Amino acid sequence: MDRKQRDTYKRFYPITTRWMDNDIYGHVNNVTYYSWFDSAANRFLIEECGLDIHNGEMIGFVVSSGCEYLSPVAYPDEIEVGLAIEKLGNSSVRYNLAIFKVGEETASAHGHFVHVFVQRDTQQATRIPDAMREAMTTLLIG
């Protein structure tokens, strides 16, 4: 599995860069990539896994993350966030994510983060429900 290549990822979400994403050096600041990763993973959880971020009994905490930057992205680039799942545990999931300029096969950046699902009221780890787990398996990679 080559995390830099588009065919590694199972789902893609479009993102429009904004003027304010550029930093003083004329490219998107590194912290913005984490926001894009978080947005893509949460969109998947809300739209395809049924996560109720406002009233649900379960929420996800990011406990680990990382990103490798390969080539710059700058406003007004049109990009896509690629999403795949590398590991699915009892209460956690490790996502692989990458930023691709539209039409490019090689990522401008790739990274990961881990969600641990917890009960909202106790913040204790909880098992990922079967329906959510089933949706997540559609993104599993070798």
CA 45 to chain centre: 10
Residue 117 pLDDT grade (very low, low, confident, very high; cuts 50, 70, 90): very high
Cα gap 92→74, rounded to integer Å: 33
Q: What is the mean pLDDT of residues 128-137?
A: 97
Q: Supply the mean pLDDT for the chain.
A: 96
pLDDT at residue 1 in the model: 72
Cα gap 138→142, rounded to integer Å: 12
Model confidence pLDDT, tens digit, residues 60-112: 999 999 999 999 999 999 999 999 999 999 999 999 999 999 999 999 999 99
**Residue 141 pLDDT > 80, yes or no?**
yes
- What are the residue boundaries of the structural domains of the chain, listed by start? 6-137
**Residue 37 pLDDT > 90, yes or no?**
yes
Burial letters 71-104, b for 16+ CB under 10 A, else e: eebeeebebbbbbbbbeeeeebbebbbbbbbeee
Does CATH number 3.10.129.10 belong to domain 6-137?
Answer: yes
Share of the chain above pLDDT 90, in %: 97
Contact 87, 142 (CB under 8 A): no
**Residue 142 pLDDT > 80, yes or no?**
no
Global pTM? 0.94
pLDDT at residue 29 in the model: 93
